[in-house]
Amino acid sequence: MLSNALEALKTYDWGTDRAVLAPIDEAVISTRDDEGSRQELEASLAAVLATPVSRDAKDYVCRKLMVIGTAASVPALARLLPEEEHSHMARFALARIPAPEAAAAMRDALASLDGELKVGVISSLGARGDEASVPALAALLASGDQQIARSAALALGDIRNAAAAQALAAAKPADPEVMRAVVDGRLACAERLLDSGDKSAAMAIYKPMLGADQPKQVRLAATRGMLACAGQKE
Amino acid sequence: MSCRQQTRRKFLKTAAVVAAAPYVITSNALGQGDVPPASDRIVMGGIGIGNQGSSDQGAFLGRPDVQYVAVSDVRESVRKAAKERADQHYKNSDCQTYDDFREILARDDIDAVHIATPDHWHAIMVIEACRNGKDVYCQKPETLTLREGPLMIDAARRYARVVSGGSQRVQEDYKELVARCWGGELGEIKSINVNVGPLSQLCNLPAETTPPDIDWEMWLGPAAWAPYNAARCSGSFATDGGSWRSYVDYSGGGMTDWGAHHFGGATFAIDVRELQPVEIEYHNDPEGKHLTYKYANGLLLHHNRPKTENLVVEGTPGEKRPAKPAPTYKGEGGIYGDFIHCVKTREKPFRDIELAVNTVAVSHLGTIAYQLQRSLKWDQAAQEFPGDEEANRFLDRARRQPWQL
């Protein structure tokens, strides 16, 4: 049955009866405590990604690898990152595979990707809280591509460690959209610092945001943060 | 250059213009009769104006303390109809229409927005609205994944925004049950049961010709790319395949769509709205699959318990407890009035985003237990399944580029 379902992936496409893939869905659950069968299933699915099956079939495989994928699937998924049609679904799996190889593959892809595909990888590294990507993301804050610079700022705000805070503090984007993301990221970092008890570092982020040149909501955020630093509720 | 890049450039150009443009003072700016002057009205826009969004638009348009000035929708016909409705109401032609919601958020003159898009857009729009200083009324179910919830709360709190969820039923449909529970009539509350479903499914509908009326790329947004199909994007309330509410990329199915109401009413009745469960027990009995959620305070929330009706409370009859005052809407005019009141006073609304997130988390936690067909433990503070690598994979999903929370 499982072999039939894997075979069905060759012709699977939008409009095909979903039931033909049900044995794969079932195997994802039934192989949970059977390491050998699980590895076999993962290898079979990863192998499909290198074949000329439909976009929908690869989409389905990536969804399953999101659930069962390990470091073993990473090379097959990483090969899809530069492909316009498959990059997102490759990240769909890579972003949730806990193996460090998955994050490393996305970091490695940053250097060769551009435009929206790069934005996608940046967002997944941020969502993953990948601290090792901070230097690369920091460099992208100065990108001439507004979407990339904005995305990097938001990702650093997701990671919100000391290095991310430092990178965001140094950023001086001229683009207002990027600046909004930098401010948001800095506020996220300040909240982390406050949570960890480093009130003076948090205060150093909040204080300059009280200026009349800042939007109302940013001044409110800074006021709220400074009150919290002082141990008061707003 | 992709279509979306072009759209983005157009957006930025327009946004710069609209952000700089002052709010045009209209003929009724000074107010008359029951209509307050413009300075006392909340200036609003709507995002996602089909079906439920249309109902929300009507509710806000009907309020004299709201000036409704803009609509955004990916369907041209919906935008046009929503504009005509607003213009007829005000007897002017001021309502502006936008394909891209970011153009509404960029307008400095707009105080608040209501959002009624499919669920896969909610978190991105709510967070971006907060970054732009807008208060938000967001339709339920407010989240599509567990990770989205805390980020939406963070954005609301960070920028001191009023963000209300959008289930009117929690207060209005379950009033009597809440009164009995909070009034002490049922004694010590032990448990409550919720019957709701189904879970959403993967959508594999065939491609159809995309109508010129819809910006399909924008409808999909952060969801996985898929070809247009009318049922895939229908805004009807079907959860059996006839609308986006049936499909996993856009919705949690009945489990979240009606779950937002029923779990909302149940957690309100037994007073655990501020908590999330710590354990989800999965049962696969001959009578069917069902769940028992356990809260840290010992209360139980059953899901689809066999032979048990919806919203049945197990208490200790005969042991009447002292009554406690139940929270209710502030202001006048139901949940919409509650939101507008809070926009003015900066109080937390009845379905504050944090309470909404806790409610929908019940749905998401249950869905993951059903998907994995096993019991789970949940750490609300850490927002993770402790030591459970398999379940933690379901906390979130990658969004399609260029969309990001």
- pLDDT digit string, tens, across residues B142-182: 999 999 999 999 999 999 999 999 988 888 899 999 999 99
CB pairs below 8 Å between A and B: how many? Answer: 121
In this prediction, residue B38 carries a pLDDT of 73
A123 → chain B, closest CA residue: B404
The pLDDT of residue B32 is: 64
User: How confident is the model at residue B326, as a pLDDT?
Assistant: 95
Q: Do A117 and B401 touch (CB under 8 A)?
A: yes
Pick from B4, B396, B398: CB nearest A88: B398
B55 has a pLDDT exceeding 50: yes
- Residue B8's pLDDT is 45
Is pLDDT at B1 greater than 50 in this prediction?
Answer: no
Taking the CA atoms of residue A125, residue A130, residue A135 and residue A137 in that order, the dihedral angle to the nearest 10 degrees is 20
User: How close A130 comes to chain B (CA, Å)?
Assistant: 14
Query: How sure is the predictor about B2, in pLDDT bands with cuts at 50, 70 and 90?
Result: very low
Residues of chain B with C-beta less than 8 angstroms from the C-beta of A106? none
pLDDT, tens only, A112-166? 999 999 999 999 999 999 999 999 999 999 999 999 999 999 999 999 999 999 9
Residue B40: band (very low, low, confident or very high) from pLDDT cuts 50, 70, 90:
confident
Query: Residue type for A195, please?
Result: D
> How far apart are the C-alpha atoms of B235 and B237, rounded to whole Å?
6
pLDDT at site B317:
82
Q: Determine the pLDDT at residue A81.
A: 98
Enumerate the residues of chain B whose CB falls inside 8 A of the CB of residue A56. 204
Query: Has residue B401 got a pLDDT over 60?
Result: yes
> What is the predicted pLDDT for the residue at B14?
46
Q: With 90 as the cut, is the pLDDT of residue B205 above it? A: yes
Instruction: Supply the pLDDT for residue B39.
Output: 76
**DSSP 8-state class, residue B189:** -
Average pLDDT over residues B102-111: 97
Residue of B nearest to A17 (CA): B204
pLDDT for A233 equals: 60
Write down the pLDDT at residue A232: 72
Whether residue B225 and residue A124 make contact (CB cut-off 8 A), yes or no, is: no
Distance from CA of A120 to the nearest CA of B (A): 5
Q: Do B397 and A66 touch (CB under 8 A)?
A: yes
From the CA of A91, how many Å to the nearest CA of chain B?
6
pLDDT of residue B12: 44
From the list B12, B159, B403, the residue facing A221 with the nearest CB is B159
State the pLDDT confidence band at B33, using cuts at 50, 70 and 90: low
Q: Which residue of B has its CA nearest to A68?
A: B390
B392–A contact, CB cutoff 8 A: yes
Banded model confidence at residue B7, pLDDT cuts 50, 70, 90: very low
| pLDDT of amino acid A234 | 56
The whole-chain average pLDDT of chain A stands at 97
| Distances B28 to B25, B337, B348 between C-alpha atoms, Å | 8, 22, 30
The residue-averaged pLDDT of B92-102 equals: 97
**Kindly report the CA angle at B308 between B302 and B312, in degrees rounded to 5?**
70
Question: Is the per-residue pLDDT at B104 higher than 70?
Answer: yes
Chain A residues with beta carbon closer than 8 angstroms to that of B372: 29
The alpha carbon of residue A214 and the mean position of all alpha carbons in its chain are separated, in whole angstroms, by 29
Q: Which residues of B touch A92 (CB under 8 A)?
A: 224, 397-398
Q: What is the distance in angstroms between the Cα of B1 and the nearest Cα belonging to chain A?
A: 9
Query: From B1, which residue of chain A is nearest by alpha-carbon distance?
Result: A115
- Which among B73, B70, B87 has a CA at the least distance from the CA of B23? B70
- ipTM confidence score: 0.97
| CB-based contact B132 A95, cutoff 8 Å | no
- Give every CB contact of residue B86 below 8 A, 6+ residues apart in sequence: B57, B61, B68, B69, B71, B94, B95
Best residue in A121, A184, A226 for a mutation probing chain B (most B CBs within 10 Å) = A184
CB contact under 8 A, B397 and A67: no
Residue A108 one-letter amino acid: D
What is the predicted pLDDT for the residue at B31?
A: 61
Mean pLDDT of A53-77: 98
Give yes or no for residue B28 having a pLDDT over 80.
no
